[in-house]
Structure 1
Amino acid sequence: MKDAFDVVTPAGPVTIEPLQHLQRYWHDAGSTLKWDCLFMLPPWLAVWWSHFGEIPKTHLYVVRQRDVLLGLAPLVVSGDTVYLINDVDIIDYSDFIVAPSREREFFLGLFDHLRREGIGRLDVGRIREDSTVLSCLRTYSTSLGCHVSSEPVDVLYEMDLPKTWEEYLDLLSGKERHETRRKLRRLESAGHVKLRIIEDETDVSVAMDTFMALFRSNRAEKATFMTATVESFFRSLAVGMASAGLLKLFFLDVNDIPAAVAMCFDYNSTIYLYNNGYHRRFSHLSVGLLNTVFSIRESIMLGRKKYSFLRGSERYKDRLAGHPVKLHHCEVILK
């Protein structure tokens, strides 16, 4: 679409650029921007855009100060409101991409530009409660000339990973540790058990056929969610993230039959569990839960620092030592 990809509009310290320019900034070795949010990475947003985001007036707002890049804001304009790119079903949370300790200057430049464009409201959507951007908006709302409101609307779970598997087991409650070991023994007694990890772009297409079959066979609501459009998105996302070196598909095979799958992303020393599924034939072996446990064990072996179960309050996340982080819906009124 012309609005999103073909026009670059200079406006003092702010330029309005094509959304695809995100890729350029991501690969800029001289940039100090913090790319903390998985869902704001160019490989992710490129796939999201191609499936769900082809709407007019979606732009990348680039804020500078004396030729120093302060930050990026992928925004959708609708009347006198702008929205930070978000999608309740696909994107767990969003954030701005800002240089460390430059958040206040970034928002001063962005908000001044938006006001001159007749924008009176910024809908940030879901954002982590521990986001430095949210903290800045709350702290500096007066000097930024705006009113900031936020309220918790959802939760994600994550944990800091210990250095060893045994240390991880010690994080579990006594009951959960006993149950995990018991389930592992039961699985091993069922036959030949193998964990496969698919990462290579050339192997993703066939692997996603299996992912889709296991995902749809899991629960009726999952099958309903996986429409043709969503399936196309998942397949393209797997290929795009694999191409960027960020995909890990964990398959748990029992007697050479795929019993469970977990779609994970490996970024910034964190493993993100995005979605999963399992074959109901093996549900008595707790293959879905144990495949998650195996992905945690593999993350520890790889030396990763964090494991994120992402959005949702399912009980197993707490049982497996995850800690809740609230997601807030944030809105900014530009005075």
Structure 2
Amino acid sequence: MKITVFEQDSAFDTLKSEWNELLHRSASDLIFCTWEWQSTWWRTYQAGDLCIVTCRDENDRLVGIAPWFIHHLDSERVLRTIGCVDVTDYLDIIADKNHLEDVQRCFAHFLYEHHDRYDRINLCNIPEQSPTCVSFPQALRALGFKADLVLQEVCPVIHLPDNWEAYLESLDKKQRHEIRRKLRRAEAEAKLDHIVVSAEHDIDKMIDQFIQLMRASHPQKAKFLEDPKNLAFFKNLLPLMFERNWLRLSFLYVNDVLTAAYCDFDYNDHTQVYNSGLIPTENAHLSPGIVLLSYNIRDAIARKKTVFDFLRGNEVYKYRMGAQDTRVFMLRARLHGDLPEPKVDSVLAPVE
């Protein structure tokens, strides 16, 4: 196979026409691995030295993309996946399913032959069902690397049934009662308007409204948005997701007051809950966040989605809505020396 290394931002323009087509042929067809996400993240954060590695077969067809960069810390150079770690929930090597092992061996050989460019490897946010969790550490070990997988975090998901009533019946009796009670109370005591942004709306205005609610919902989110790069990432990414029909931006108005919002992604047959916003002081007794979330789950079922994915984090409300954990891992490797002990002993925080 032919290996090519791209070290300039122009790589994204060069690979644009082939990137997503390969992604659809891979076992890693994730919204976070799309050309749109990856290019936006890189152009926003510029987090190190770009190192995108591609593989082509004997017919010059693109069969593999390793979207990597080298992050320079004070005392070492760490090879990471574009998107690591905070604003991206799943990441992976992109490899044609029919060439998976060959591609991963090629990428492992590249890392071996160019080990002088970095000190260690940290590939974050790999979903547990990815072939990378098994085959890539094996390919690295075959070349003398020390490699392991560290449980990084959990992504609770709901496997959606065919109808809303079946979903409610799948819940614990207490939680089923709570959801029904909160919906009845809110709908009886207030005028509710559930809006999903569509082509008839001013998308830029609606994104600004969402960011305002996100900022108001929690001090940590407000602090996150104080970073100009984080704010720029949202403002650059969300219109692009909307253009591709991947963005599901929903709002709940309570008595004509904008109160709650969710930023979800629709990709393949999954709905993914990326972020949320809430005015905590507005109609809190009516549980507007849970009401809107319930509407969105019901809407996903009606649109024949099979998975409602809360993405990373083990917040209690996700389990109350019926979610069950899936896991994401970090692949750590180095050619010389021992791997450091993980810096955390919990799945609640990323491993550096």
Structure 1 residue runs of 5 or longer lacking an equivalent are 1-11
- Aligned pairs (5 A) from 1:106-117: 106-117=103-114
Residue 15 (1) aligns with residue 4 (2):
yes
Measure the CA separation in 2 of the matches of 1:131 and 1:29: 16
Task: Please give the secondary structure, in 2, of the residue aligned with 1:327.
Answer: strand
Whether contact under 8 Å (1:80, 1:118) holds in the other structure is no
Measure the CA separation in 2 of the matches of 1:293 and 1:101: 40
1:202–1:265 CA distance, 2 compared to 1 (3 A): same
- Aligned pairs (5 A) from 1:7-86: 13-17=2-6, 18-28=11-21, 32-53=25-46, 55=48, 57-67=49-59, 68-77=61-70, 81-86=78-83
1:178 is aligned with what amino acid?
A: H
Whether contact under 8 Å (1:35, 1:41) holds in the other structure is no
1:128–1:186 CA distance, 2 compared to 1 (3 A): same
Higher alpha-carbon deviation: 260-269 or 110-119: 110-119
1:107–1:259 CA distance, 2 compared to 1 (3 A): same
1:296 is aligned with what amino acid?
A: I
1:75–1:29 CA distance, 2 compared to 1 (3 A): closer
Give TM-score, length-normalised by structure 2: 0.84
**Residue aligning to 1:88:** 85
Give TM-score, length-normalised by structure 1: 0.88
1:255 is aligned with what amino acid?
A: N
Whether contact under 8 Å (1:127, 1:329) holds in the other structure is yes
Q: By how many angstroms is 1:117 displaced? A: 2.4
1:210–1:58 CA distance, 2 compared to 1 (3 A): same
1:144–1:277 CA distance, 2 compared to 1 (3 A): same
Higher alpha-carbon deviation: 60-69 or 169-178: 60-69
Q: By how many angstroms is 1:131 displaced? A: 1.6
Q: By how many angstroms is 1:81 displaced? A: 4.7
Please, what is the CA RMSD of the aligned residues?
2.4
**Residue aligning to 1:239:** 239
Task: Please give the secondary structure, in 2, of the residue aligned with 1:195.
Answer: strand
Measure the CA separation in 1 of the matches of 2:110 and 2:136: 17
Deviations 1:183-208 (A, max 9, x none): 00111012221211014396211112
2:93 is aligned with what amino acid?
A: F
**Residue aligning to 1:320:** 321
Q: How many residues align?
A: 323
1:87–1:28 CA distance, 2 compared to 1 (3 A): closer
Higher alpha-carbon deviation: 207-216 or 64-73: 64-73
Structure 2 residue runs of 5 or longer lacking an equivalent are 337-352
Q: Sequence identity of aligned pairs in percent?
A: 28
1:35–1:26 CA distance, 2 compared to 1 (3 A): farther
Q: By how many angstroms is 1:225 displaced? A: 1.6
